Amino acid sequence: MLTILAPTDLSPRSRAGLRFALQWSVQMKIKLIFFHLFNPIRLPQWSNTQFGEYAAREQSLKQIELDKYIHDLYKTMNISPGNYSCVVQQGISADLSILDYCRAAGNIDFICLATHGAGKIERIFGTRTGNLITKSQVPVIAIPEKYKRKPISRVVYAADFSHYKYELKKVRAVARSLQASVEVLHLDNPYEVLPDENTLRGSHEQGFPMGIEVGIKRANPRHSFFRDLKNEIEKSNSSLVIMFTNQHRSILDRILFPSKAEHLSFDLPVPLLVFPKIEE
């Protein structure tokens, strides 16, 4: 059984990620872990014992709040509660705490959370979602803030054709679990020499099984790559986009050559599932 970690700060802005996780639970049996991080304020005059007692009381209150929040969400979405649990932990950094929890648990298959976009500074130095996409070994699902619940019926795999046979296996496993169709989408730059779709399919018959749609699109040299890729994804009418990202890059690389997956997570109007790429 798949296990999905769905972090929430208990605000309306985080509900999009929870709604997607709940929709997944409607389409197949999964275990959901709703995760909330709180950071208690410590007064200077408190001893360690006093602070510990205060933090324990706050954690109990947060646990009650999270339990009610999730109960009400199930009720609002008219979904019968399935296999789920609510976890409250104390910490400072949300992304680091989520990574630590996943490492300790050892059985988390996906992290699902809402993303709220980012300004120029955040895009350079990272947002919570962006940091998870570029650091987490557990695949991350970034959900647009305005996401509305709907069946997950069409998966688009945005491919660069490096290790695509390995990646397609993971894509198809996700699609099968949701009983969704799969489209392979490749956007090449205007100066890339690439075979046409029929030639590509003919030379990789085993890589593209029957039933897999393959779309090769030529980028517009007057547009940014991200604009064209976003436009093609929007036209595909997908329920979920899947990409693979290289996590082994320096800070300078992230500034000069941002991850396509991280970049898209800020602007894409549909859910984005990001796997780590295999190492070269």
181 shares a domain with 131: no
On the question of pLDDT at 123 being above 50, the answer is no
69 shares a domain with 189: no
> Where is the domain boundary, 117, 144, 171?
144
Q: What is the pLDDT of residue 218?
A: 67
Q: Assign residue 165 the CATH number of its domain.
A: 3.40.50.620
Count up the domains in the chain and report the number: 2
> Where is the domain boundary, 126, 144, 162?
144
Indicate the pLDDT class of residue 191, thresholds 50, 70 and 90. Answer: low
Q: What is the pLDDT of residue 102?
A: 95
Q: Which helix (H) or strand (E) holds 157?
A: strand 154-158
On the question of pLDDT at 279 being above 50, the answer is yes
9 lies in which domain range? 2-144
103 shares a domain with 56: yes
User: To the nearest whole number, what is the mean pLDDT of the chain?
Assistant: 81
Instruction: Tell if the pTM clears 0.85, that is, is over it.
Output: no
- Tell me the β-bridge partners of 37: 89
- Summarised one tens digit per residue, pLDDT across range 151-179 is 999 999 988 878 888 898 999 999 999 99
Asked if residue 268 is part of any domain, the answer here is yes
180 shares a domain with 73: no
Asked if residue 222 is part of any domain, the answer here is yes
Indicate the pLDDT class of residue 252, thresholds 50, 70 and 90. Answer: very low
Separation in Å, CA 163 to CA 24, 219, 245: 27, 22, 12
Asked if residue 149 is part of any domain, the answer here is no
Secondary structure of residue 240 in the 3-state scheme: strand
On the question of pLDDT at 180 being above 60, the answer is yes
Report phi then psi at 133, rounded to 5: -60, -40
Q: Where does residue 123 rank: exposed (0-12), middle (13-18), buried (19+ CB within 10 A)?
A: middle
Q: What is the pLDDT of residue 256?
A: 38
179 shares a domain with 69: no
On the question of pLDDT at 120 being above 60, the answer is no
Indicate the pLDDT class of residue 265, thresholds 50, 70 and 90. Answer: low
Q: Which residues contact 261 (CB under 8 A, 6 or more apart)?
A: 133, 243, 244, 245, 272, 274
162 shares a domain with 137: no
226 shares a domain with 263: yes
Q: Which helix (H) or strand (E) holds 54?
A: helix 48-76
Q: What is the pLDDT of residue 13?
A: 86
On the question of pLDDT at 258 being above 80, the answer is no
Asked if residue 193 is part of any domain, the answer here is yes
Indicate the pLDDT class of residue 213, thresholds 50, 70 and 90. Answer: confident
Q: What is the pLDDT of residue 125?
A: 36
- Summarised one tens digit per residue, pLDDT across range 126-157 is 467 778 888 899 999 999 888 888 899 999 99
21 shares a domain with 120: yes
> Where is the domain boundary, 118, 144, 170?
144
- Summarised one tens digit per residue, pLDDT across range 5-62 is 999 999 988 899 999 999 999 999 999 999 999 999 889 999 999 999 999 999 999 9
